[in-house]
Structure 1
Amino acid sequence: MIFPKEFIENLKNRVSVSDIVSRYVNLKSKGKGTFSGLCPFHNEKTPSFSVSDAKGFYHCFGCGAHGNAISFLMEHKGYSFPEAIKELAGLAGMELPKQDERVVEKQKQVQSSYELMELATRYFEKNLYSSQGLEARKYIENRGLTAETLKKFRIGLALDEWEGLKNHLKTLGANEDLMIANGLLAEKEESGKTYDRFRNRLIFPIFDSSNRVIAFGGRILNNTDKSAKYLNSSETDLFKKSYVLYGYNFARDAGYKKAQAIVVEGYMDAISMHQAGFDNTVAPLGTAVTESHLFHLWKMTPEPIFCLDSDEAGQRASKRLAEEFIKYLKPGYSMKFAIVPSGKDPDDFIKTEGRQAMEELLNNATPLVDALWNFNIVGADVSTPEKKANFSKALQDIANRIEDPIVRDFYKAEFTARVKKHFAPVNSGNVVNFSKYQKSNAQKSLILSPQLSASKGFSDKKAKHMGSERQEEKILLLIAFFPNLTKLANVEDF
C-alpha cells in the first residue's frame, strides 16, 4: 500500500512521539516536551532514552536507537510500514487515503530508482577491485584510506568507458529512461545518444538518512582532457543537494552521542575525518551550506563546528556562513568555526599533524560572536571617528538580521560593548596600577612588577634600597619616577 508524503507528514504532526512511546515505555517529563525513560531496545538500569515531541524523534544515548513514531512501532512492535501507518491513523482519527493510481505508479518508480542506484553502486564497487582498478587502488593507497573505510563508504570506480555502466544495467533489465532520470546517463544534444555520466572517476556513493544510495560523486583520476576535478549527480527525484549532507547517514547517531557535529568542505575531508575517529563529520555536496543543512545539523547538536580551509576561499566561505546564517539563531542554537591553519584542508592537517592536533583545533573552535567580530575588524579602516562609527553600524546591521528578538538584543549589546572597549581612549600618562605592587614577606620591601620595573629603569638594587629607607623616601622616589601618581592621591592621605 502506497501513502502520499503529505498524508504521512500530517499524520506525524497529529500524533506526538511521546503518545506512542509512552504506551510501551514509562516516560518521565523533563519539561518543554521532552521525556526520558529506560530504553526499550537494550537492557539498562539508568535511563538514557530520550523523547522530544518538539523535534519529533526519540533517541537513546546508550545504544544509538533513533527514529520517529512510525519507526518506533516498526522497530519495537515489528510492524511493517503500512501496519504502523494504519495504527497511527487510527489513533489520530484520520482516514487512510484512497490509492491514487498516479501516486502508486510514482512510488513504484521511486522504488525502482533506489534499486537501480544500488545496482550501479555494486557495479562501481566491483570495478575498483578488478584488473582495471589498479590505478584507482594506487591513488587510494596514496591517500591513506583503509580497507575498512572503503567498505564503509562503498567507494568504487567508474571505468574509462562511454557505455560501461549503461550496458551493464541493460543486461540486468534496467530501463534507459530511468537511468537518465537518476543522473546515471547523459545525452548528446545533437544526436540524443546517451552515455555514462561518470567515466574514469573514483566514485563516492551519496546516501540518504536511511543508508540508501541516491546519487554519486566522482573524483577524476587522470585529467588528460581537463575535465572537472569533482562531478556530482544532477538533481533527481531522489537527490536534492540543498537538502543532503555527505556522510549524514553515518554522522547522525555519532553526533547525538557526542553532542557535536563537524562540517568540512568535501568528500575526502569528510572521509579522512571519519577514518581518524571524527565520525560525526559531514560535508555539503557541490553547493554552499544551506538553511536546510543548518536545521539538519541543529537536530544533531545546538552548536555545530564548521571546519573550513584557511585559504582565501575558505575564509570567504566562513564569513558568508556567519553573516548569512546569523538570522536563524535562536536561544541555545548557534555555530562555531575551526579554521585549519597553514593553508591546509582537514585531510592534509590530519595526515601531517595527527588526530590529537585536530581534536585540539575543534576543542578551541571560535564561537560565532567572536568569529563575526574577527571577520569584520581585520582589515577594517577605523582611522577616523566617522569610520569607527561606520564599523559599529556594520556590526549592528549584522545583528539586526537575527529574527529572534532575544538573541538579537544580546548580540547588539555585545557588539556595542566590544566597540566601546576596542576604541576606548588610551591615557598616555604614566598611570600606575597599584595591584602590580606587592610586599615581600622576607624583606618587607616594595617590589614593582617586572614589566613596570623594566619600563622605567628600575633595578633589583634600587628596589632593595627602597625597602631599607623610610616610607617618606619610598613615596618621593616613586613620585620621581611616576609624576602622575600625585593626581591619584588626596591631600588627606599624607
Structure 2
Amino acid sequence: MDMAANDAVELIKQRISIVDLIGRYIPLRQMGNRFVAPCPFHQETKPSFNVTPDGRFYCFGCQKSGDIFTFMMEYHGLSFRDALEQLSQEAGVDLAAFGPRRQHPGAARQKNRKKDLLLMYRLAQGHFVANLEGPDGAACRKYMAERGISPELARRFGLGWAKDGWHDLASFLQAKGCDLNLAMEGGLLGKSSKTGKPYDPFRARLMFPIRNTGSETIAFGGRIIDKASDAAKYINSQDSPIYKKGEHLYGLDLAAKAIRVNKKVYLTEGYMDVLTLHQYGFENSVGGLGTALTDQQVQRILGYGPQVNLLYDGDNAGRKAAMAAATKFLSRGASVKVILQPEGEDIDTLLRGKGPDFFRELCDKAMPGLRFCVETLYGVAPRDALEWCRTFIRGMQIPELVSPTISYLSRWLNFDEQSLRDGLVQDMSQAPRANQAQDKAISATLPHIEREILRTAIRYPGHARDIRDMGADILLKSPMASALWNKILEQGENAGYELEGEARTLWDRHRGLEAPPCKNPEAELGALKKILDKYLHSIQKSSFSALLRQSDAQGDYSAGMHVLDTLQEPLSEPLSELKTNDQV
C-alpha cells in the first residue's frame, strides 16, 4: 500500500463512523463521550470494551485496540486487504483511483492472478452444479436423498457433482478461455507427472464448495459416493494463492448470522456433519477442513463472540481432538463446552435416528471445557498432567483468569496449589530472558543509531518526513531497517498492519501496551536530532582525523593545520546537506 492507498484508508475512516460500524455487531451503550459494551474478543460480562467517536476502540480486559480496519480484521478474521476492500465498497471509495500508477508490477500481476482464480473457481462450481442437475448426476442425487440432503439445502451450500472422467473440468475451463496452468497452480486441476498436462483431481465425487466470508468459492472438498471404491473417502483442495486451509471454516459464510443471533456456535469436523446440523435447524454450525484446529480458525470463530460447543466423536481420537480444541479456546478466555457423541454414533445418526430433541438434550448436558480437560487428565500420568497445566496456564491470554484457573486445576487434580504457583512464577520469571534474547538478536543486526531512528519513527509515523529532513534516512543501512522505514514513510500509522519478524517485534515494542504514551513528539524528535547531530559530528571528526594522518604522512603541514581549524568548528550545516557526504 503506497501513499495514495494510505490516503484511501484515511478517506474511508472519515466516511465510516466507528461507532456505527461496531454498533452493528455488538450493542453499544453511551457513557459520556464514549460508548461501552462487553468485549466481543473475550468472554466477559463487564463493559470493558470502549469505542470513541474519534475512530478508536480499546478493551481494558484483553487490551485489544485499533480502528475500523483492526475491528473488521479481528471480528471477521479478515486480512487487512480484505477489510480494506470491504470497507472501501461501503464508503464508496474507489481504490483503483488512489494507487494503480504506483502499484508494483508484481503486485498488480498477483492481484490479477487471484481474480482469475476466483473466476475459475466460480465457473467450476457452476459446472459441478450443472453436472448434478443433469443426467450424469442421477447417482449422486440418489445418494443425497438417501443421506437426507434436501434440494434446497444442496442449493444453499452449492453442492455439485464431479463426473467420472479425467478431463471434464479441464475441457470446460479451456472452452471458457481459462489459463489451465494457473488452474493447476491454484489446485483446481492436477498436473500429470508424466506429461505435465492438466487433469481433473476430483472424479466421481459429491462436491462441497468451500467459501470465504464473502461467499466466494475458494476451494473444494470431494466425497466418494461409491461404497465399493477403494479411493480416499474425501479429498480436498491444496493451499493456493486464494486459499489457506488453516484460515477458513466450512459453512461460516452461511452460519455467521445465526451465530451472532444465537451467541453460540457448533464446531464439528466434517462437511456432512455441517449439512446435517443445518438441515435440522442448527444453522449456527461450522466445520474444520481436515486439519487440527488452528489459531487462525479459533480467532475467526471468537470474532463472533459466541459460546463454543465442540462436537467430536466419543472415541480416543475424538477426545484428543476435543481437548486440543478446548485448550485453544479456553486460553483465550472463551466459554467452551464439549459434546461427545456416544460410541458408534455420529451427528447424522443422532439427528436422523433420534431426532433434534435428543440432540438438544445431549447439548444441554455438555461438559464445560475446563472440566472436560481435567477429566481427560485423570487418565494420564501425574507428571504429564502437571506439565499440561503449566503449559496451559503459561498460554492463557487473559491475566484475570490465571489465578482462579490455578486454584481450579489444583483442587480437581489434587496438586499442591502453592507448588504449582511457585513453579509458574519461576517459569514466568524466565520469560523475560526470551525477550532479552530477542532484543539481543535485534541489537546484533541493527546498529544503535538505526534502532533510535526506527524507535522515533515507529512512535510518531506522522513525523517521518521531519525525521527524514534531519538526514536520518541516509543512516539506515540494514535491509530490514530500510524496508521498515519505507513502509512508515509511505503508510504512516497503517504501516503496522502487515509487518512480520523483527519489524513486527520493533513495532509492537514501541507502539504496544508496554510502550510509553506517544504524547510528546517535539521532545522525542528533539532528542533524536541531538543524537543524530552527535553521531554525524563524530563521523565528520573521524573523517578529518583520517585526513590529518594522511597529511602528516605526506608532509603537508598546511593542510593539517586547516583540518585542525575545521575540527574546532561546530557542526553548523543542516544535517540534510550531509546526505552528499561520502563518509556517511
User: Which band: TM-score by shorter chain?
Assistant: 0.5 to 0.7
One-letter code of the match for 1:362? C
Q: Tell me the CA shift for residue 130 of structure 1.
A: 1.1
Question: What do residues 362-387 of structure 1 show as CA deviations (whole Å, max 9, x unaligned)?
Answer: 2332212101111111x457xxxxx6
Q: 1:49-448 residue pairs with structure 2 within 5 A?
A: 56-57=71-72, 71=86, 74-75=89-90, 79=92, 81-82=94-95, 98-222=102-226, 226-323=230-327, 325=328, 329-330=331-332, 332-377=333-378, 379-380=379-380, 390=383, 393-394=386-387, 396-404=389-397, 405-420=399-414
In 1, Cα distance between equivalents of 2:7 and 2:247? 17
Aligned to 2:442: none
One-letter code of the match for 1:342? E
In 2, Cα distance between equivalents of 1:23 and 1:302? 19
In 1, Cα distance between equivalents of 2:11 and 2:49? 14
Report the 3-state secondary structure (helix = DSSP H, G, I; strand = E; otherwise coil) of the residue aligned with 1:300. coil
Q: Tell me the CA shift for residue 17 of structure 1.
A: 9.7
In 1, Cα distance between equivalents of 2:198 and 2:117? 18
Q: Retained in 2: the 8 A contact 1:264–1:283?
A: yes
Distance 1:374 1:71, change over 3 A: same
Aligned to 1:30: 36
Q: Tell me the CA shift for residue 193 of structure 1.
A: 2.7
Q: Tell me the CA shift for residue 393 of structure 1.
A: 3.0
Q: Tell me the CA shift for residue 150 of structure 1.
A: 0.6
Q: Tell me the CA shift for residue 73 of structure 1.
A: 6.2
In 2, Cα distance between equivalents of 1:54 and 1:168? 39
Aligned to 2:479: none
Q: Tell me the CA shift for residue 165 of structure 1.
A: 0.6
Q: Tell me the CA shift for residue 7 of structure 1.
A: 6.2
In 1, Cα distance between equivalents of 2:118 and 2:233? 27
Question: What do residues 394-420 of structure 1 show as CA deviations (whole Å, max 9, x unaligned)?
Answer: 564354333334322221111122245
Report the 3-state secondary structure (helix = DSSP H, G, I; strand = E; otherwise coil) of the residue aligned with 1:338. strand
In 1, Cα distance between equivalents of 2:338 and 2:68? 30
One-letter code of the match for 1:117? Y
Q: 1:462-473 residue pairs with structure 2 within 5 A?
A: none
In 1, Cα distance between equivalents of 2:305 and 2:7? 23
Distance 1:13 1:273, change over 3 A: farther
CA RMSD of aligned residues (A): 3.8
One-letter code of the match for 1:418? W
Distance 1:186 1:421, change over 3 A: closer
Distance 1:58 1:395, change over 3 A: closer
Q: Retained in 2: the 8 A contact 1:308–1:346?
A: no
Q: Retained in 2: the 8 A contact 1:16–1:56?
A: no
One-letter code of the match for 2:390? D
Distance 1:136 1:391, change over 3 A: closer
In 2, Cα distance between equivalents of 1:143 and 1:380? 39
Distance 1:117 1:305, change over 3 A: same
Of Structure 1 and Structure 2, the greater helix share is in 2
One-letter code of the match for 1:335? V
In 2, Cα distance between equivalents of 1:211 and 1:132? 27
**Larger RCO, structure (CA 8 Å, separation 6 or more):** 2
Report the 3-state secondary structure (helix = DSSP H, G, I; strand = E; otherwise coil) of the residue aligned with 2:288. coil
Question: What do residues 61-111 of structure 1 show as CA deviations (whole Å, max 9, x unaligned)?
Answer: xxxxxx968645634x6x25528x96xxxxxxxx99822222222211111
One-letter code of the match for 1:356? D
Q: How many residues align?
A: 378
In 2, Cα distance between equivalents of 1:297 and 1:23? 19
Distance 1:69 1:365, change over 3 A: farther
Distance 1:13 1:358, change over 3 A: farther
In 2, Cα distance between equivalents of 1:233 and 1:264? 19
Distance 1:57 1:108, change over 3 A: closer
In 2, Cα distance between equivalents of 1:215 and 1:82? 27
Question: What do residues 282-339 of structure 1 show as CA deviations (whole Å, max 9, x unaligned)?
Answer: 111111111111001111224311111112321221123334x26x724x42422111
Q: Tell me the CA shift for residue 361 of structure 1.
A: 2.2
In 2, Cα distance between equivalents of 1:380 and 1:396? 12
Q: Retained in 1: the 8 A contact 2:132–2:140?
A: yes
**Structure 2 residues not aligned, in runs of 5+:** 38-47, 54-65, 75-81, 417-584
| 4+ aligned runs moved over 6 Å, structure 1 | 6-10, 23-27, 67-70
Question: What do residues 403-448 of structure 1 show as CA deviations (whole Å, max 9, x unaligned)?
Answer: 33432222111112224599xxxxxxxxxxxxxxxxxxxxxxxxxx
Report the 3-state secondary structure (helix = DSSP H, G, I; strand = E; otherwise coil) of the residue aligned with 1:242. helix
In 2, Cα distance between equivalents of 1:120 and 1:9? 37
In 1, Cα distance between equivalents of 2:295 and 2:20? 33
One-letter code of the match for 1:205? P
Q: Retained in 2: the 8 A contact 1:248–1:282?
A: yes
Q: Tell me the CA shift for residue 35 of structure 1.
A: 5.4
One-letter code of the match for 1:401? R
Q: Retained in 2: the 8 A contact 1:17–1:56?
A: no
Q: Retained in 1: the 8 A contact 2:205–2:223?
A: yes
In 1, Cα distance between equivalents of 2:313 and 2:135? 36
Q: Tell me the CA shift for residue 340 of structure 1.
A: 1.4
**Structure 1 residues not aligned, in runs of 5+:** 38-50, 60-66, 87-94, 382-386, 423-494
Question: What do residues 170-211 of structure 1 show as CA deviations (whole Å, max 9, x unaligned)?
Answer: 111111112102212112212223211110000001101100
In 2, Cα distance between equivalents of 1:24 and 1:366? 32
Distance 1:401 1:302, change over 3 A: farther
In 2, Cα distance between equivalents of 1:115 and 1:8? 28
One-letter code of the match for 1:128? L
Aligned to 1:473: none
Q: 1:472-491 residue pairs with structure 2 within 5 A?
A: none
Q: Tell me the CA shift for residue 22 of structure 1.
A: 5.4
Q: Tell me the CA shift for residue 354 of structure 1.
A: 1.0
In 2, Cα distance between equivalents of 1:81 and 1:145? 42
